[in-house]
């Protein structure tokens, strides 16, 4: 049976069009500025001023070539959403299209002699069908949808790889055309393996490790660096790493895909970490009414339900909406710990004109736990002997709770110009907050009496973020060839205010008989007030030159002004972040690439020396080179990369200040070297795979000492599914395996002696099976940690050296009804 496939409906590498000069380019940039004014002042202006000229006709220059690629180029230039089964165009060619046409006539000319027709569902949505099937029902199972400025929408593509992406440079490119490593966890991958949280997505992401500090706080690492850069629909939002505020608790019900940009991403992010950037891309409304509902049940009384409904809201179809929601109530393998999760998301799209789209949206996430731990289980007792307790041991008090929430509102205005340029103006307002009343045993128990001390405290706060970004992209002609340009400007404001109450240390009678039953302390007065205002302004530009058909050069730069005030005064003005990349096509399937970029990370209150002074600005140079491969019209992608990151002023912990309860750091120079191998997509009809291997080593320059050893030097992940052929095609089977190499770190025991604590290498194995009961009803079983491996999700956290167990074997049964 032919597997449903997709072909991106965006232009790929060469994109030849009619000759243009620099003058139309400047005109397009000026028009992009008007688009921003329209967002803030009078959106109705565009509903009148941007109507199609000449009765909807446009000028097209579509070269001869494979029919699928020609249709993709045409749909992108025409500004329509095109969906089709890739098998319809396989082996067929098009003679191209030259001249001015309206959308319907252009499709008809391109499809002449192919036995195919373009069926218009509405003015901007087109379905490709065989001529004899033009009146048959639409098969939404094979739909392909593309967002022209964020990349391929992965929902309903059945794919484990994207068609195109834009998160690395703002240019809409295929993975092969992007001179940087980018991993995408698609909607299909999330649905197959029940990846309902951002933690689960990161556990499946090649090259990324997940550290859980306690029951409600996680940290993600890539290439040996914590991931502190979060983007939502490509717009950066700074995460507060000291106080979790909902970023790592995001429910995946609202998202189409998660893009992970490996290495530095200063061009699109500004300030940040050189390890990786996460871009969470939200779902879009559907052109026709559709939706689904699920009911799930799993081990430890884990229950979840979700619903997702979208479609046109009027007869014309130029107003479309979508509403999703999820509710989860689960207990845990840890004693007296449970958590409720609530997530909602809504989005509305309005076609102000055929070429102008206005979008509004909002989302809401909240987690309500009880029995939260604060750190893990102490590693040593008072005799410096390692403690061994059951995985179910929960050091948290039964009243302890680390509530987190986030909610946001966003709006954007997109406009397509007749000369091939597009513009976007985007604004988002996001609130991230926490209300933590915590009590947990993280001090070493007395080896003789069993008594221990409960560390407890109350922390409340929220961060309010405003982000505004305007950019435009499109083609221009220079020296007789066509190239691409992106220009943009952004403004970001984040204001975090928090209260830390008095710290309490009540005594626990017996550590080994602990059940969490203890009186909640009186928190008293606020001990510390936190107030930090961060402003970041930037302008940037990226240009993709095509000096030959086989060579692409990408050059870009971002100029950033960063200012943090209130509690601290940190100012970095005119920080220039360059980017240079090269991609050379070796043949039809392989390309060689190389890239260089920089990133800077202004110091925060977390990183200060023994005297309490903030560390200087951290800077890094990131180099990457390798080979990328692409097969089956982009349905299978692979890459092999060598990377190197050189850092100045890297913050390394050297001790702990027990008077002021803070870690002490020093600034060092360091160098990271490593390789990454990744493959994602369709190996054969019905057989999807996502796999990757990473090896990295970080060494301090002054003495060649290894750093970040608590993260594995070797990491391997493999996830795959296969839909059985023939009469068994209702059954899909799959599984995955994670390998993590040996990790270690230096920690202080009870006597404050520095000792090395290790975790040996281990494997985790998962299984899944899905049965399509009817066309609309399916059932999926996921089994995680199949062999019930004992392992730690961190091996030494905090001044008192605690560690946490990873999840034992568990399973989840999901039933899904599509409508």
525-567 confidence digits (pLDDT tens): 999 898 999 999 999 999 999 999 999 999 999 999 999 888 8
**HSE of 733 in the Cβ direction (CA atoms, 13 Å)?**
3
Q: Name the pLDDT band for 619 (thresholds 50, 70, 90).
A: confident
Residue 217, φ and ψ in degrees, nearest 5 = -130, 130
DSSP codes of every residue in 576-612: EEEEEEEEEE-SSSEEEEEEEEEEEE---TT-B-TTS
Task: Name the more confident of 54 and 733.
Answer: 733
Q: Indicate the number of domains in the chain.
A: 1
pLDDT at 239 over 90: no
CA distance 640 to 636: 14
Average pLDDT, the chain: 86
Residues 6+ apart with CB under 8 A from 150: 166, 167, 233, 234, 281
Q: What is the number of other CB atoms lying within 10 angstroms of the CB of residue 678?
A: 23
Residue 746 lies in a domain: yes
DSSP codes of every residue in 341-385: EEEEEEEEEEEEETTEEEEEEEEEEEEEEES--SS-EESB-TTSP
Q: Report how far apart, in Å, the C-alpha atoms of 388 and of each of 146, 348, 707, 729 are.
A: 53, 53, 28, 48
Residue 362 lies in a domain: yes
Task: Identify the burial level of 418 via C-beta atoms within 10 angstroms of its C-beta, where 0-12 means exposed, 13-18 middle and 19 or more buried.
Answer: middle
Residue 676 lies in a domain: yes
Residue 539, φ and ψ in degrees, nearest 5 = -125, 150
Residue 774 lies in a domain: yes
**Are the CB atoms for 285 and 310 separated by under 8 Å?**
yes
The H helix count followed by the E strand count for the chain is 7, 46
pLDDT at position 122: 65
Predicted TM-score of the model (pTM): 0.84
Residue 106 lies in a domain: no
Residue 370 lies in a domain: yes
- We report the CATH number of the domain holding residue 764 as 2.40.170.20
254-268 confidence digits (pLDDT tens): 999 999 999 888 888
Question: What is the SS3 assignment for 542?
Answer: strand
Q: Name the pLDDT band for 39 (thresholds 50, 70, 90).
A: very low
Residue 53, φ and ψ in degrees, nearest 5 = -85, 160
pLDDT at position 17: 36
Query: Could you tell me where the beta strands, DSSP code E, fall in 371-506?
Result: 377-378, 401-416, 422-441, 452-478, 481-501
Task: Identify the burial level of 90 via C-beta atoms within 10 angstroms of its C-beta, where 0-12 means exposed, 13-18 middle and 19 or more buried.
Answer: middle
Q: Report how far apart, in Å, the C-alpha atoms of 445 and of each of 209, 797, 804 are.
A: 30, 17, 17
381-439 confidence digits (pLDDT tens): 999 999 999 999 999 999 999 999 999 999 999 999 988 899 999 999 999 999 999 99
Residue 523 lies in a domain: yes
Residues 6+ apart with CB under 8 A from 74: 60, 62, 97, 106, 107, 110
Residue 304 lies in a domain: yes
CA distance 326 to 304: 7
690-723 confidence digits (pLDDT tens): 999 999 999 999 899 999 999 999 999 999 999 9
pLDDT at 52 over 90: no
Nearest Cα to Cα of residue 477 among 20, 14, 15, 77: 20
Structural domain boundaries enclosing 472: 279-818
């Amino acid at each position: 049976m032919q597997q449903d496939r997709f072909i991106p409906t965006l232009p790929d590498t060469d994109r030849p069009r009619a000759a243009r000069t620099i003058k139309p380019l400047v005109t397009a940039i000026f028009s992009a500025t008007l688009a921003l004014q329209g967002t803030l002042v009078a959106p109705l202006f565009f509903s009148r001023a941007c109507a199609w000229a000449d009765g909807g006709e446009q000028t097209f220059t579509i070269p001869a070539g494979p029919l699928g690629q020609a249709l993709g180029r045409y749909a992108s230039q025409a500004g329509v959403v095109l969906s089709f089964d890739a098998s319809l165009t396989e082996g067929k060619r098009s003679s191209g299209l030259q001249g001015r046409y309206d959308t319907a006539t252009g499709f008809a000319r391109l499809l002449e002699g192919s036995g195919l027709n373009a069926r218009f569902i509405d003015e901007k949505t087109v379905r490709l069908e065989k001529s004899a099937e033009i009146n048959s029902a639409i098969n939404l199972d094979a739909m392909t949808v593309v967002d022209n400025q964020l990349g391929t929408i992965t929902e309903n593509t059945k794919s484990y790889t994207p068609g195109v992406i834009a998160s690395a440079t703002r240019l809409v490119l295929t993975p092969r055309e992007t001179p940087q490593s980018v991993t995408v966890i698609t909607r299909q991958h999330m649905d197959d393996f029940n990846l309902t949280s951002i933690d689960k997505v990161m556990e499946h992401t090649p090259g990324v490790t997940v550290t859980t500090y306690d029951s409600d706080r996680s940290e993600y690492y890539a290439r040996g660096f914590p991931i502190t850069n979060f983007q939502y629909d490509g717009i950066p939002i700074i995460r507060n790493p000291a106080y979790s505020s909902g970023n790592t608790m995001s429910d995946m019900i609202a998202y189409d895909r998660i893009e992970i940009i490996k290495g530095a991403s200063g061009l699109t992010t500004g300030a940040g970490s050189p390890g990786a950037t996460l871009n969470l891309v939200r779902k879009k409304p559907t052109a026709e009414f559709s939706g689904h509902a699920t009911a799930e049940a799993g081990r430890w009384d884990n229950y979840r339900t979700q619903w997702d409904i979208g479609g046109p809201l009027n007869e014309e179809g130029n107003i479309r909406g979508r509403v999703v929601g999820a509710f989860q109530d689960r207990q845990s393998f840890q004693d007296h710990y449970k958590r409720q999760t609530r997530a909602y998301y809504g989005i509305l799209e309005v076609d102000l004109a055929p070429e102008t789209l206005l979008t509004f949206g909002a989302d809401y996430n909240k987690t309500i736990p009880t029995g939260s731990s604060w750190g893990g289980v102490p590693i040593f007792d008072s005799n410096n002997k390692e403690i061994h307790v059951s995985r179910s041991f929960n050091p948290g008090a039964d009243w302890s709770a680390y509530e987190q929430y986030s909610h946001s509102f966003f709006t954007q205005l997109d406009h397509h110009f007749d000369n091939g340029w597009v513009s976007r103006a985007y604004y988002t307002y996001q609130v991230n907050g926490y209300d933590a009343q915590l009590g947990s045993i993280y001090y070493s128990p007395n080896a003789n009496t069993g008594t221990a001390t409960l560390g407890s405290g109350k922390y409340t706060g929220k961060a309010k973020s405003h982000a505004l970004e305007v950019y435009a992209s499109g083609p221009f002609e220079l020296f007789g060839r066509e190239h691409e340009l992106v220009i943009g400007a952004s403004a970001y404001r984040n204001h975090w205010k928090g209260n830390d109450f008095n710290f309490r240390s009540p005594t626990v009678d017996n550590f080994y008989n602990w059940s969490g039953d203890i009186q909640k302390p009186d928190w008293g007065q606020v001990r510390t007030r936190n107030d930090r205002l961060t402003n970041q302004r930037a302008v940037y530009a990226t240009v993709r030159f095509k000096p030959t058909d086989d060579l692409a050069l990408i050059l870009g730069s971002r100029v950033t002004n960063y200012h943090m005030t209130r509690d601290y005064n940190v100012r970095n003005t005119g920080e220039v972040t360059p980017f240079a990349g090269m991609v050379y096509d070796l043949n039809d399937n392989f390309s060689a690439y190389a890239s260089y970029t920089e990133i800077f990370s202004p110091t925060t209150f977390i990183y200060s020396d023994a005297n309490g002074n903030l560390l200087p600005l951290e800077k890094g140079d990131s180099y990457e080179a390798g080979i990328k491969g692409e097969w089956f019209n982009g349905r299978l992608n692979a890459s092999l990369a060598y990377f190197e990151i050189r850092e100045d002023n890297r913050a390394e912990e050297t001790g702990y200040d027990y008077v002021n309860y803070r870690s002490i750091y020093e600034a060092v120079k360091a160098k990271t070297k490593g390789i990454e191998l990744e493959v994602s997509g369709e190996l054969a009809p019905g057989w999807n795979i996502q796999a990757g291997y990473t090896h990295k080593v970080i060494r301090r320059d002054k003495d060649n000492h290894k750093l970040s050893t608590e993260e594995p030097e070797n990491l391997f992940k493999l996830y795959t599914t296969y839909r059985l052929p023939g009469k068994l095609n209702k059954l899909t089977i799959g599984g995955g395996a994670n390998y993590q190499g040996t990790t270690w770190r230096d920690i202080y025991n009870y006597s404050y002696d520095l000792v090395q604590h290790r975790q040996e290498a281990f494997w985790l194995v998962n299984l899944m099976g899905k049965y399509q009961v009817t066309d609309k009803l399916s059932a999926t079983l996921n089994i995680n940690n199949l062999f019930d491996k004992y392992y730690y999700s961190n091996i030494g956290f905090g001044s008192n050296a605690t560690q946490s167990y990873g999840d034992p074997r568990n399973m989840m049964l999901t039933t899904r009804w599509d409508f």
